[in-house]
Every structure is written in C-alpha cells, then in structure tokens.
Structure 1
Amino acid sequence: MDWNRRACARRGHETYAPDEPALRARLHATTPVGEAWRCLRCGDYVLGEVKGRGPAGDAPVVMRGRALRDVLILRFLSIERAARGVLILLAAYAVWRFSNSQDSVRRLFEDDLTAFRPVAEHFHYDLDHSPIVDSIRKTFDYKRSTLIWVAIGMVVYAVVEIVEAVGLWYLKRWAEYLTVVATAAFLPLEGYEMREHVSWFKVGTLVLNILAVVYIIVAKRLFGVRGGAEAFERERHSESLLEIDEAIHPGPPRQPWEEQVHTTKPPSARTT
C-alpha cells in the first residue's frame, strides 16, 4: 500500500512554497494549464494555488510512509481504549446502583432463580451447585462500602483509559508513555485471571495488550529504546520531502512534463 497517496486521497495534498530560490524551483513547475507545486507527502505535482509560503525551516513536517502506518495503528488502539473506558464506566454505574439496592436485587434474584428451577431440572442442571450462581450470591454478601470503593476504582481506571484514547488519537507522546505504563501494570493481573479461568476473550485481550506495549516501545522509541526521543524526531524530520531535497541537491528543476501532474481535466496538448 502506498501510504502517502492514501493519505493525500483522504486529506488532500500538502504543498509549500519556500522562500529559498533553488529549493522553490525544485518544488514548482509551470504547465500549459497553470502552475503546479510538488506535494510534500506523496511527491507528485499538483495543479492549483500553493497552501503555504515562507522559509523552508517553517515548512510543516508532513508524516510520510511508515509514520502514516503508525498513525493508523495508534488510532485503532485509541478506539479500543475509548470503547473499553465507556464499558468500564457503565459497569461502575451498575455496581454503584447495585450497592444502593443490594437487598432488593438479592430478593429479585432468588425469586427468578426459583421460577427457573423447573427448567434447570428438566435439563439436569444443578442450580444449587452452579459456579455462576455461587459467584452471584457471593456478591450479595459484600459490604456496601466495599462495592462503592470498587465502583470508584473502576471510574478511575475508565478515566485513565479515556485519557489514553484522546492522547493516542492526537498522537501525543505522553499518551504513548501512559499507555505503556498503564497497560504493563495490569498485565500481571490479567495473567492471574488466566489461571482462574481461561477464555478466548481473555486470551485475545492479553495478547493485544502485550503486542501494544511492545509495538509502542519499539516503534516510538520510548524509554531510550533505539536512540530514544531524539532519534525518533530525527527519523521523523528526515522523511520530510523538503529536507530530502535540500540534502540530495538534485540539480536543476525538472520540466513539468517530466513529472506526474494531478488535474481534474487533462490538458488538450503539451508543449516542449
């Protein structure tokens, strides 16, 4: 997949006219149908007015190539964190409501269990020794203060997840650190739950969290890995088309008919 052209197709091209004459000449072309400027992301020449002007040092740092792929992965993790945070908030609300009406919920549960008993006996299911029923009955014995603290803890956890989601969506580096630390902190707990009861959902969640931690640390060079933040910024800036052009000094600018030019209406004739 050409991530550069995919991004340009969704967001539009990024063009910039630097003040430096030599660099400006390499990014500008004159065609029979008007001026064209080279896109800083995909490198194609685009007909129309340039989006920005100024010194080359003030040109926007446009993400290209692998950086665009990393954005897609981080946005996926952001959506997953946001969904998890909302579900935990709903669960916290349910626990809080349960703590305020524990006795009435217990009576309702026992009444429904009695009504369901003939059906269970028909299918030879022992409700009195069911692990699910025993687990539900144990929750009725919890103190109200314990349930409230559980609800508060769930709210705090949900807020952390939502903050992670917002930071990852806007590609903030602090959010990457927060995601790694918070996710890694809960990995031992998830592993302990696997010892108690194994399910495909728990296995998938554990694997996803491990992969997320490893990927973010390695790809984003966190905690000094692969050179740390300085190496990450150098790599990001080195992919800028302006800096590539300044570094390689390709010589005289190409003629407009030597480059691919994007236009809604192809010119009727080309001159040489």
Structure 2
Amino acid sequence: MTEEDRDAPAPVPGTAGDERRLRYELLSCALHGHHLEGVTAERVRPGDALLVREDRDGLRWHRCLRCDAWVPVAPPRQPDRPHPPDRHEIALPLRGKALRDRYVLRLIALDRLLHFVVLGALAAGILIFADKRASLQAPFYRYMDLLQNGVGGTGGVSERGLLGEVAKAFAVRSSTLWLIGLVIAAYALLEGVEAVGLWRGRRWAEYLTLVATTVLLVPEVYELTSKVTVTKVLTLIINLAVVVYLLFAKRLFGVRGGGRAEAAERARDVSWEALERVPPGRTTD
C-alpha cells in the first residue's frame, strides 16, 4: 500500500460500496461527472472536512456530494476563491429516492413526447386532408380506377383495405374531419405539456398525467373487449404502471401521507443532515 493510499479517506461501510442504494447516483456521475465543491479554493479549513480534505503531501480529496466517492484533485495553481463555499452557497444535487424519481419521471416524459409527435403528425395530416379534400377527391378516384383496370380488376374502389378506408374518409363531412383533427391536436398538446412538466419534475405535471392516463384506461379496456392485440396490451400495461407509480410512489392525492410525506422523504435524502449521516472516512495522520 502506498503512502497516498494510506492518506486517502477510508471507504465507509454501507455507503459508497452499497451498489443497490447508489445505483442512480453512480449513473448520474458517470453521465455528468462528480459533483465536487471547492476545487478552485486556495486553502481548506478544518470545517470543510465534509467536502474536502488534504493529505500530508498536499493532495486534496474532494467528496462527491451525489455518490459519496472521494476524488483526488491537485490544488489549483490559480485559485479563484479563498476557501470552499459555505453550506448556504451550495445547491445539493439530487440523491436517493429523489434522484430515482427523476429518472422514472423522465422515462415517462419520453413516452409522452413520443405520443406528442405521433398524435401531432396525425392531427396535422387530418387537418390538411380536410382543407384539401375537395381538390384531392377527383384525382384519387381517377388514379384508383386506372390502377384497378391496369391489373385486370373492376372499376371503382373496394371497401376493404387501406384504399377502402381512404375512400370512406372522402365520404365524411368536412366539419367532422375538422372536429376529429382538432380533438387529436388538443390531445397531442396535452401529451406535450405532460412531457415538459414531467421532465422538469413538476408536481402539477404528475397530477395531470395521473388524471389523463386514468381517464384513458377506460377506452383502452373497452378496445380489448373487441379485439386483443400485442400493441393494445402493452399500452394498457404501461399506462397501468404509470398510474400505480404516480399514485403510490409519488404519493398523489394524499396517498401514503401525500405531499408532506413526499417532501419529508426528499429532505431525508437531499440535505446536509443526509450527508452527515454518511460520515466521510478519516485520513491517516
């Protein structure tokens, strides 16, 4: 063992080595780097031991405020501050359940973003079709007649398949098409608002997503009574999982203590008291 290894802070059992608890912290640090404070400070005070320590050779060991790892950093050649920042100057990074929730909420946000893109494209297509239908109807039937006569079929458009569905769309009233397009556009906008709010971790977005997803469970279940497909089943399972997660894990509508319990749980993981409960290792004198 080198002298440098002896001077380094010793790992704390049950903290940095607890891969289960720190899985999300380690992932965040791998993606964004460690959260270190006081790297550019001129000197280290005794009261900064929770953040940074200096060994006998002058090498500084900075504690990551997210994953609790100790990172060796050489003292700065051109310090820009006299000492590491005080506690009130530091914005603590997310850890524990709060960090896990951010990853889950952003995963749901990506799902809502996909819905926004697909529904937005569908709404745009319907509205454009409703606006241009009069000019498209005659060429559509003319080309379909030419296509069917060219392959030895009879004239006209069959009521089956995609062409049949397009033919039915030409028979729908323009007001109905506009209404359908606007409703789908409004739903796409709702999904987009959910995606932005969930990505930013807003509480109101959690409520909005829970209510909207719960309402849509009814038609999804009804659709399964007529025809069961893999896509419908997967969609129902995903939306059920979202509802259960938001209701119980995020404690919405007063479930499991509600917002107060949620705030207390967050403060337990993201606070200086939480960092003090995981004391840093001691250096060797």
| Offset from partner CA, 1:46-84 (integer Å, 9 cap, x none) | 33479962246x643432234333222221211121121
* Counterpart position of 2:70: 45
Contact 1:82/1:161, CA 8 A, preserved across alignment: yes
Moved more, 35-44 or 231-240: 35-44
Post-superposition offset of 1:241: 6.0
| Cα separation, partners in 2 of 1:202 and 1:106, compared to 1, 3 Å | farther
Task: Report the Cα distance in structure 1 between the residues aligned to 2:152 and 2:84, rounded to whole angstroms.
Answer: 76
The equivalent position to 2:145 in structure 1, one of 110, 114, 118, is: 114
Alignment of 1:1-272 (within 5 A): 2-16=23-37, 24-31=48-55, 32-48=57-73, 53-55=85-87, 59-117=90-148, 128=158, 130=160, 132-240=162-270, 242-246=272-276, 254-256=281-283, 272=285
- 1:158: Cα distance to partner? 0.9
Cα distance in structure 1, aligned partners of 2:47 and 2:25: 21
Q: Which moved more, 1:101-110 or 1:174-183?
A: 101-110
Aligned residue pairs, count: 248
The answer to whether the 8 Å contact 1:40/1:241 transfers is no
Q: Normalising by the residue count of structure 2, what TM-score does the alignment of the two structures yield?
A: 0.74
Task: Please give the per-residue CA displacement for 1:85-126, whole angstroms capped at 9, x wherever unaligned.
Answer: 12211111111111123244343443444345479889xxxx
Residue 189 of structure 1 and its aligned partner are, at CA, apart by 1.9
**Structure 2 counterpart SS, 1:53:** coil
- Relative distance call for 1:104 and 1:192 in structure 2 (3 A) is farther
Superposition CA RMSD, Å: 3.1
Provide structure 2 residue ranges, at least 5 long, that are not aligned to the other structure.
1-18, 39-44
**Unmatched 5+ residue regions in structure 1?**
258-271
Flag the structure with higher helix content. 1
User: Displacement of 1:162 after TM fit?
Assistant: 0.7
Cα displacement (A) at 1:13:
2.1
Contact 2:97 2:266 in 1 (8 A): no
TM-score when scaled to structure 1? 0.77
**Cα distance change, pair 55–72 in 1 and its aligned pair in 2 (3 A):** closer
Distance 1:121 1:232 in 2: 69
Counterpart of 1:195, as a letter, is: T
Tell me which amino acid in the other structure corresponds to 2:261: A
**Cα distance change, pair 154–220 in 1 and its aligned pair in 2 (3 A):** same
- My pick for the range that moved more, 46-55 or 146-155, is 46-55
8 Å CA contact 2:98, 2:269 repeated in 1: no
